[in-house]
Amino acid sequence: MRDRFRDLEGPLAIRKKDVVLMATVSSFEGLAHPTRSELRQFAELFMPLFQASSDEARRQAVAALSQCKTIPSAVALFIGSQPIAIAAPFLTASQAVDDDTLIVIARSQGAAHARAIVSRDSLSPKVIDALVALRHAEPRQTAPAAVAEEHALPPTAASMEAADFVERLAREEAMRERIKGLARHLGRNDSNRLGLRTLSDIQEALLVRFARAREAGSFATALADALSASRWLAERIMLDLSGQQLATTLTSLGMGFLDAVFVLERLYPHLSEPQHNVTRAWMVLDALDPDECHQRVEAWRRADSYTYKPEDQVRGEQSAASAPRAVRQEPPARDIRIVGRR
């Protein structure tokens, strides 16, 4: 933290919000590996404080966040969309901004922001291609004589309509991505599971225990019980060696994130390999959307209920079908003749 942050601790009332902003940034900097809930809380606190603070406090906060290894995507997009005087150090130095966010900022904020992104130490091929496409989309600089002729001729209606159409598409795409990012990071409430199928404490403990012992059969039985579905469905989910279907199921059932990571790593050893400072199981679970997981698992359960019948139900149907035949049995012909003689 820079020494100039001390200047913001004065007794003046106008500095109070600046002090709160700096305190929020400082506490976030102290988190080595922030969890998803901590990232969401920081995003909810940071943006309103940032908008209410002075320009000097904004610059100091952005400079400090540009050194963080992890920040919420919504905060990265918010900072990158600020005026270039504030956003420049962040766009130039921050390693916490993903490629999609950089592309959205370059397309929506103009040439100054794009030049700041170009000055980064390293760029992925995806970002480079997007920047090159933006460069080709800009009007090419011509010689002075050509410029004079160009100014002498009025622009055609077709060129004006094309330029307006491209600009409108860029604005709409940037707004759409920003709304999606804010909804994904700020509008999600994973703790609200009203009306959703949820694991009990005993079921979750059993699943973790069986995964620790790598008892696939017992795990499938416990999973089928948690889903209120057939064992066939549980085994089919576990047969997906990528772990994607089991991760979707555990997310839908509301298993704790760390427990779900542990289960995937034990049942699928290749998901325990490190990737970007976390394991592959962590990345698989972090990429899932709970709402989509709920819809997918419910679709599996409906299909399972259509195709699978429990053994008790099958035996009941067989007995029900055989009972009428026993009632309709006719006596043997000899018995009938004997009755007639009497």
Contact 96, 71 (CB under 8 A): yes
Question: What is 263-296 written as a DSSP string?
Answer: HHHHH-GGGGSEETTEEHHHHHHHT--HHHHHHH
d(CA 229, CA 268): 23
172-181, 233-242, 271-280: segment of lowest average pLDDT: 172-181
Question: Tokens 């099958």 identify what position?
Answer: 314
- CA dihedral 263→266→271→273, nearest 10 degrees, is 130
Biggest distance spanned by C-alpha atoms of the chain: 131
**According to the model, what pLDDT value does residue 172 have?**
73
- Of 43-57, 137-151, 210-224, 243-257, the least confident: 137-151
Tens digit of each residue's pLDDT (9 = 90 or more) over 93-109? 888 888 888 888 888 88
Alpha-helix runs per DSSP H in the chain: 16-29, 36-52, 55-65, 73-80, 84-93, 99-109, 111-118, 125-137, 144-152, 157-186, 201-212, 216-227, 231-238, 244-253, 257-267, 280-286, 290-307, 311-327, 333-341
Residue 134 has pLDDT above 50, yes or no: yes
Tokens of 215: 């008892």
Which range among 50-59, 123-132, 247-256, 325-334 shows the weakest confidence by mean pLDDT? 325-334
pLDDT at 150: 43
